[in-house]
Amino acid sequence: MSKATGRFNRFLDFVERVGNYLPHPASLFAIFALGVVLLSGVFANLGLSVTHPSTGETIAPVSLLNLEGLHRMLTEMVRNFTGFAPLGTVFVSMLGIGLAESSGLIGASLKKLVLSAPPRLLTFAIILAGVLSNMASEIGYVLLVPLAALIFYSAGRHPLVGLAAAFAGVSGGYSANLLLGTVDPLLSGISEEAAQLVDPAYTVNPAANFYFMAASTFLIAGAGTWVTEKIVQPRLGSYEGEADVDEAMTTLSPQEERGLRYALVAAAIFATFLIWATLPMTWELIPGAGFLRNPETGSLLRSPFLSAIVAFIFLGSVFVSVAYGKGAGTIQNDTQVVEGMGKAISTLGTYTVLVFFAAQFVSYFNWTNLGYIFAVKGAEGLQSLGFGPIFLMLSFIGLSMFINMFMGSASAKWAIMAPIFVPMFMLLGYSPEFVQTAYRIGDSVTNIISPMMSYFALIVAFVARYEPKAGIGSVIALMLPYTIVFTIVWSVLLTLWIVFGLPVGPGADLYLPN
């Protein structure tokens, strides 16, 4: 707890207390699933119904509060879990990315990026490295954040300036990246489940937000650099204390350098293969070109390449990680490869429990028609207000930001929000991919000031190494300028995206086809 006084700090204390009273996300889903069962019985008895805007069909609630409902919940419990779209994609992605982490590839790559940056680009490089680290979950928090503090200290600057810059990139820039990571298939799977409440054939590709993410990467890195140099650095000034510098963290060993060279060659080989496989089929001079394109249209849209993007995340990660491990000496045999993958899967225990209850909640929402009914009623209410896409999406960003202050898990929040908001916006003509983009902005920008974010306590501990009296309020005050600036620049970017009608990802337009 922070001992700071004042109205704002009292508000932050209130946020912390309220957040601490919330049950675990898995328990929340169990409660929500029970709530859906009870509400289905109530609304069915009330005779509530809506009309499908496209078919004219009357949609009425289906009660689960009866013997037939009980039988269905019991007999389909396992199917709900194993058929939950994000489950398999996350596990497959983590097999590859987990090996990249356990082999040391990701850690060495981040150090190489930061240590190779010219002094005048150091801040930008650290924030950019933080954004890119998001593809591998916690590696940015446990490696890059303390590394950035030590690098700034070694450069004669305040270590907390480097720490703040890295934390802003890792957590505040969570929805920007030049690469796809574990969160992309996770969120797209949840969006797909929600979209199928309206259109059972709708699919959401893991690369659905890639164009917007890639453009956001350099925007967030630039905005974070400005905040660091113009606001955070002048506020903190020079550092008078002393810190222990771990030489291993601030240098690359010869083994790591060799491993990175091996990885670079492997990455080039894999990239060449993907380019060959996705070249236009008309390139007859290159045998087999474009074999991963859509065989009927020759397009990359709805092609085997995009449908198998998770498989390529896995295969590419394994291929490059093994090459790094051979060069660095961290992988000697296939047993270590399997153990590296197993270590990544072992971290998903709590996530698996959460998915079990989330899958039941989403299935019940689907069976009872409550998700669709809420969506239609909500869409009718929004339509009557006459708001355009800019106001609606900026408002949705604000709602996501607020909820993120009380519930840290991106997937848990989206699993609760998507079944309501994705169908609601679809009925207004907006694509699930567009809605997911707006959610990801709101979910990211308040991460760095939310005490409920899972790594927030770790960041407080890192800060306390250099400022022993620092607490939660100190960290929030340090990071709040990033939240404000990131919110503004990301909202402006989304507004421009809407104005110019740009797709947010491959085959992911802003609006549904008429």
Return the pLDDT at 3: 41
Q: What is the mean pLDDT of the chain?
A: 82
Domain range summary for the chain, segments of one domain joined by +: 21-500
CA Rg value for the chain: 24
**Among the ranges 220-224, 370-374, 411-415, 465-469, which has the highest mean pLDDT value?**
220-224
The pLDDT tens digits of the residues spanning 48-107 come to: 777 765 566 777 888 999 999 999 999 999 998 988 766 777 788 778 877 887 888 877
Which whole number is the average pLDDT over 8-12?
A: 56
pLDDT at 19: 53
Distance between CA atoms of 316 and 175, rounded to whole angstroms?
Answer: 21
What pLDDT is recorded for position 84?
75
In tens, the pLDDT along 173-184 reads 888 888 877 778
DSSP 141: I
CA-wise closest residue to 373 among 328, 419, 337: 419
Q: Which pLDDT belongs to residue 212?
A: 95
pLDDT tops 90 at residue 436: yes
pLDDT for res 513: 87
Is residue 197 within 8 A of residue 372, CB to CB? The reply is yes
- Asked if 120 and 225 count as a contact pair (C-beta separation under 8 A), the reply is no
Q: Which residue shows structure tokens 């009927």? A: 296
The pLDDT score that the predictor gives to residue 155 is 77
C-beta separation of 161 from 441 below 8 A: no
Better-predicted residue by pLDDT, 219 or 310 = 219
Residue range 163-187: mean pLDDT, rounded: 85
- DSSP secondary structure string, 441-489? HHHHHTGGG-TTSTTHHHHHHHHHHH-TT--HHHHHHHHHHHHHHHHHH
Strand partners, 50: 59
pLDDT band at 34 (very low <50, low <70, confident <90, very high): very high
469, pLDDT greater than 60 = yes
* Mean pLDDT of the 384-402 span: 86
Q: What backbone torsions phi and psi does residue 505 show, to the nearest 5 degrees?
A: -165, 180
- The position carrying tokens 């699919």 is 203
Q: Predicted confidence band at 228 (pLDDT cuts at 50, 70, 90)?
A: very high
Q: pLDDT tens digits for 248-275? A: 556 778 998 999 999 999 999 999 998 8
Inform me whether the pLDDT recorded for 486 exceeds 80.
yes
Report d(CA 186, CA 134) in Å as an integer: 13
